[in-house]
Structure 1
Amino acid sequence: MNTRNKLPHYDVQPTLINEKASVSARRLMEYLCSIYGEKVLSGQQIGVIGHPEIEVIRETTGKYPAVYGFDFMNYTPSRVERGSTCEDTDIAIQWWKDGGIVTFCWHWNAPVGLIDIPPERSWDRGFYTEATTFNFAEAMADKESELFQLMVRDIDAIAQQLLRLQAEDVPVLWRPLHEASGEWFWWGAQGAAPCVELWKYMYHRLTDYYGLNNLIWVWNGQHDDWYPGDEYVDIIGEDIYAEKHDYSAQLDRFLQARSYSKGNKIITLSENGVIPAVSEMMKDDALWLWNCTWYGEFVYKRQGDHIRYSETYTQRQALIDFYNHPRTITREQLPNLILS
């Protein structure tokens, strides 16, 4: 696609921050940059328990989303030691082989200090600030401390899953430490400075120590104080949960996301409840590159033994219109991104 006719803020160079990025990662980034400002990738997050979202979308629209969102949450050591299991890595590998694009976030259960008082502060909510006493700023301040080493242990555990993906040549739109500025997650609870330091540490641990060259780094801190700098960010994401049936483009948030970078970065809707209408995005010149609708009630409801599409957030016709819009790309319309 010829980018010379694009508006200037959509003209993003496909240069990844990791100079050793894999061919598959560079190829994916080149594709993303080529369609940015012209097309919108449909996307959907996987459910933590059960995975009906993708099939509900297909049954409703006749198509699969282009981008599938996964979560490393249940690979976290403090969850594994309490019996959690996960198959997201395996599903993601197959999704890539089937022609889709993969994105991962990580609801990082605190390594220690889980309060474990149900329901709001139970151990399985240990990524929330209210559910743990873990002070990561204290850990970051002493790299020789047991607390810091426990954080490294957790990063290393997730590195093993990312290595599995790299072994299958799967490029990953990687979105760790998300929504930090909201401070509802522990990695944002002690302010911006230690969170930025943690982001940079994680980047170097995964990139330099583990040689993970299949990652495209999606920063989702949602406030300029939390921005680690253009040299540590490939793509900027915003998470927006609009009012029910509000199909507006969320222009203010799009412009806010653009303001973080000194140059041009791809801007994406890394989480959403309601899906903005493509016509609204075009009208406001706010073409988020992809959306990733959250799981569960945002997509389906159970009626007895049956699963039905839920119109609570995005009405059925609005979903169908989105998936069938000429500017929307579904999995069926993606080019072959797998190296032959």
Structure 2
Amino acid sequence: MKEHLQGRLAVEPKLIHPAASDNAKRLMAYLCSIYGKRTLTGQQYGVVSTPEMDVIVRATGKYPAVGGFDFMNDSPSRVERGAVPTDTPLAIDWWRRGGIVTFCWHWNAPKDLIDEAPDNGWHRGFYTSATTFDIAGAMNDESSEDFALLMRDIDAIAIQLKILQSVGIPVLWRPLHEASGGWFWWGAKGPQPCVKLWRIMYDRLTNLHGLNNLIWVWNGQHRDWYPGDEYVDIIGEDIYPPERTYISSLERFRQALGYTTANKMIALSENGPLPDPDKMIGEGAPWLWNCTWYGGFVCVKGANGEWDVGEQYTEREMLIKYYGHPFTVTLDELPDLTAYPIEG
């Protein structure tokens, strides 16, 4: 065991929500049981089309264990402009196939969209460059219209999360991602308003809406943005190495260990090229799961109109190695997560 991991891989299967659902507890127990020993394969679904899973299984004979979804088109400012939400039913189908569900939310700003072509259209309203919405102003005045709109948006997503809860699905829930980068509006004004929004979101979804199926994955990527151990179940890092660069990203794993002295599991919550599992083992970066981003990161449409492995970021040989490696877990290897024993 690498020195920096001594004692850090033993994570108790205790969720921050004391009244978490049984299936959330089951999933957490399973994750804790494999952490440091194996890593879950994962793939983000495409927002418009979803050929990724079919491409992967044709190339490797395996499906990923984790399916990644996005509430992007459930954002009210997108719905009112004609966006059609798709991912809740896709996630239900994935769970019923035996998979693990993770959701992020490219949260379109609730107002003040610049809406100028070509780069700042309304559909890019989660980017700081595409909106003048001021999170700091909203967080500083809870009687303001801006604050009320943020709560409206959270309530809209709560409806979708309740649908997932109603059919027993535990969700690896990853909101307000990549905040410290500043490229999303929720991170544009520094740590304080974003941390406050995270805590408010936790309270609202948990206590107002009664959601008990969420495992909270914090993905702020800098310790100044960490909202506190009582608000975080799992830490995620999003890493996009150069094309065909299959590194373990050990330094980022170590960085994530440093966000807290508590033992929290660490996931590669987004990636471009896949990490080499041999390097993950050898260097001591045992990410809990990976979730390759969609589109060109994994597939490409050929001249015949058929989708195939896109080798710009990860070559076919590495894709096959990753999905066939004894360190990685694929869909067919997952236990029945509706019957997994609850520990503690």
Say whether the fold is shared (TM-score over 0.5). Answer: yes
Q: Does 1:254 pair with 2:253?
A: yes
C-alpha distance in structure 1 between counterparts of 2:217 and 2:262, whole Å? 16
For 2:136, what is the secondary structure of its paired residue? Answer: helix
Query: Equivalent residue for 1:332?
Result: 332
Contact 1:25 1:171 in 2 (8 A): yes
Query: Equivalent residue for 1:213?
Result: 212
Query: Equivalent residue for 1:232?
Result: 231
Q: 1:335, CA displacement in angstroms? A: 0.3
Matched residue type, 1:327: F
Query: Equivalent residue for 1:85?
Result: 84
C-alpha distance in structure 1 between counterparts of 2:186 and 2:174, whole Å? 13
Q: Does 1:192 pair with 2:167?
A: no
Aligned counterparts, 1:1-340, within 5 A: 7-304=6-303, 305-339=305-339
Matched residue type, 1:73: M
C-alpha distance in structure 2 between counterparts of 1:94 and 1:49, whole Å? 17
C-alpha distance in structure 2 between counterparts of 1:203 and 1:47, whole Å? 27
Contact 1:269 1:288 in 2 (8 A): yes
For 2:270, what is the secondary structure of its paired residue? Answer: strand
Q: 1:194, CA displacement in angstroms? A: 0.4
Q: What do residues 60-82 of structure 1 show as CA deviations (whole Å, max 9, x unaligned)?
A: 10000000000000001000000
C-alpha distance in structure 2 between counterparts of 1:86 and 1:53, whole Å? 19
State, as a whole percentage, how many aligned pairs show the same letter. Answer: 60
Q: 1:339, CA displacement in angstroms? A: 4.0
Q: What do residues 149-190 of structure 1 show as CA deviations (whole Å, max 9, x unaligned)?
A: 011000000000000000001000000000000000000001
Query: Equivalent residue for 1:3?
Result: none
Contact 1:230 1:262 in 2 (8 A): no
Q: 1:90, CA displacement in angstroms? A: 0.5
Contact 1:72 1:88 in 2 (8 A): yes
C-alpha distance in structure 2 between counterparts of 1:262 and 1:23, whole Å? 27
Q: 1:244, CA displacement in angstroms? A: 1.1
For 2:210, what is the secondary structure of its paired residue? Answer: coil
For 2:103, what is the secondary structure of its paired residue? Answer: strand
C-alpha distance in structure 2 between counterparts of 1:250 and 1:175, whole Å? 20
C-alpha distance in structure 1 between counterparts of 2:161 and 2:204, whole Å? 12
Contact 1:174 1:215 in 2 (8 A): yes
How many residue pairs get aligned? The number is 335
C-alpha distance in structure 2 between counterparts of 1:50 and 1:202, whole Å? 30
Matched residue type, 2:150: M
C-alpha distance in structure 2 between counterparts of 1:83 and 1:111, whole Å? 15
Q: What do residues 131-159 of structure 1 show as CA deviations (whole Å, max 9, x unaligned)?
A: 00100110111111111101100000000
C-alpha distance in structure 1 between counterparts of 2:225 and 2:233, whole Å? 15
For 1:10, what is the secondary structure of its paired residue? Answer: coil
C-alpha distance in structure 2 between counterparts of 1:203 and 1:301, whole Å? 38
C-alpha distance in structure 1 between counterparts of 2:114 and 2:244, whole Å? 37
Matched residue type, 1:117: E
C-alpha distance in structure 2 between counterparts of 1:214 and 1:313, whole Å? 34
Q: 1:7, CA displacement in angstroms? A: 4.6
Contact 1:238 1:257 in 2 (8 A): yes
C-alpha distance in structure 2 between counterparts of 1:236 and 1:339, whole Å? 25
C-alpha distance in structure 2 between counterparts of 1:39 and 1:127, whole Å? 34
For 2:206, what is the secondary structure of its paired residue? Answer: helix
Q: 1:323, CA displacement in angstroms? A: 0.4
Matched residue type, 1:280: K
Q: What do residues 30-60 of structure 1 show as CA deviations (whole Å, max 9, x unaligned)?
A: 0000000000100000101111001111111
C-alpha distance in structure 1 between counterparts of 2:28 and 2:118, whole Å? 41
Q: What do residues 245-264 of structure 1 show as CA deviations (whole Å, max 9, x unaligned)?
A: 11110100000001001211
Contact 1:187 1:195 in 2 (8 A): yes
Q: 1:269, CA displacement in angstroms? A: 0.1
| Unaligned stretches of 5+ residues in structure 2 | none
C-alpha distance in structure 2 between counterparts of 1:45 and 1:26, whole Å? 23
Contact 1:200 1:228 in 2 (8 A): yes
C-alpha distance in structure 1 between counterparts of 2:74 and 2:244, whole Å? 34
C-alpha distance in structure 1 between counterparts of 2:177 and 2:256, whole Å? 14
C-alpha distance in structure 2 between counterparts of 1:281 and 1:244, whole Å? 18
Matched residue type, 1:190: K
